[in-house]
Structure 1
Amino acid sequence: MATVAELMEANLLRVFNERDDERRAKAIAETYAPDVTFADPEGVATGHEELNAKARALLAQSPGFVFSAAGPALVNHDLGHLAWAFGPDGEPPVVRGIDVALVEDGVIKKLYTMLLPA
């Protein structure tokens, strides 16, 4: 079973950073509860399909951009926090944010993304 820190990293790197649909779908199945709720400033996605569509759309509108962790995952029991950066590969990021996740039964049940001020 994955740790909370491993799930936070999988969320960022294996899901939201993955451009291959099949690999991303496999990572989603391993990382999130079937009824996961993902909330960001743009809205709420529920379930694997909606979360996958959200990641696919974000990557499609940002060609050449990559996510990177901006420090280690912080964990408090079943709650994880991971700061991240997003921008053109090899260049300074254009967006920074944090992900906060609630983990239940070894998978992410709720995920919140907050953007940091520029």
Structure 2
Amino acid sequence: MTDVRGLVEQYIAVWNETDAGKRRALVADVFTEEVGFTDPLGAVTGHDGIDQHVAGAQQQFGGLTISLPAEPDAHHDLARFHWHLGAPGAEPVAIGFDVIEIEDGRIAKVHGFLDKMPG
């Protein structure tokens, strides 16, 4: 059984890593080669797609970080979890809910939902 909490923490680390080389290495560790990612702001595939999507979000929300406010819930090859985007100790500016599909200990698909967005 995959360490779901650890995998989700690595996923969050990808979103918070601002060094492009380190982020790219994390992407390779966390996601399958053919990963699919879909949320209301875009749909991408593969390591390049994930890396570019994360880099774009970081440009838009520079200085803010994503945190995991509660334990992930998982069964079989699926996990779901909430995340918060904001400055440490402050009210989150964005809140989301992601469902991931796990394949051989890595994330194969991400289905993202936004509960709260600025503006």
Same fold (TM over 0.5): yes
Q: Per-residue displacement from partner, 1:30-58 (whole Å, max 9, x unpaired)?
A: 10000000001022100000100000110
1:56-95 mapped onto 2 (5 Å cutoff): 56-95=55-94
Q: Which runs of 4+ in 1 moved over 3 A?
A: none
Residues 24-33 or 3-12, more deviating: 3-12
- In the other structure, the counterpart of 1:4 is 4
The answer on 1:38 being equivalent to 2:37 is: yes
Runs (5+) with no aligned partner, structure 1: none
What is the aligned-residue RMSD (CA, Å)? 1.6
1:54 and 1:18 map into 2 onto residues whose CA distance is: 13
Q: Could you tell me the TM-score, scaled by structure 2's length?
A: 0.90
- TM-fit CA distance, 1:26: 0.8
The answer on 1:115 being equivalent to 2:114 is: yes
- TM-fit CA distance, 1:2: 5.2
1:45 and 1:32 map into 2 onto residues whose CA distance is: 13
- TM-fit CA distance, 1:112: 1.1
- Please tell me whether the aligned partners of residues 5 and 75 of structure 1 are also in contact (alpha carbons under 8 angstroms): no
1:45-60 mapped onto 2 (5 Å cutoff): 45-60=44-59
1:42 and 1:117 map into 2 onto residues whose CA distance is: 13
Runs (5+) with no aligned partner, structure 2: none
Name the SS of the counterpart of 2:7 in structure 1.
helix
The alignment-based identity, stated in percent, is: 32
Name the SS of the counterpart of 2:48 in structure 1.
helix
- Please tell me whether the aligned partners of residues 9 and 73 of structure 1 are also in contact (alpha carbons under 8 angstroms): no
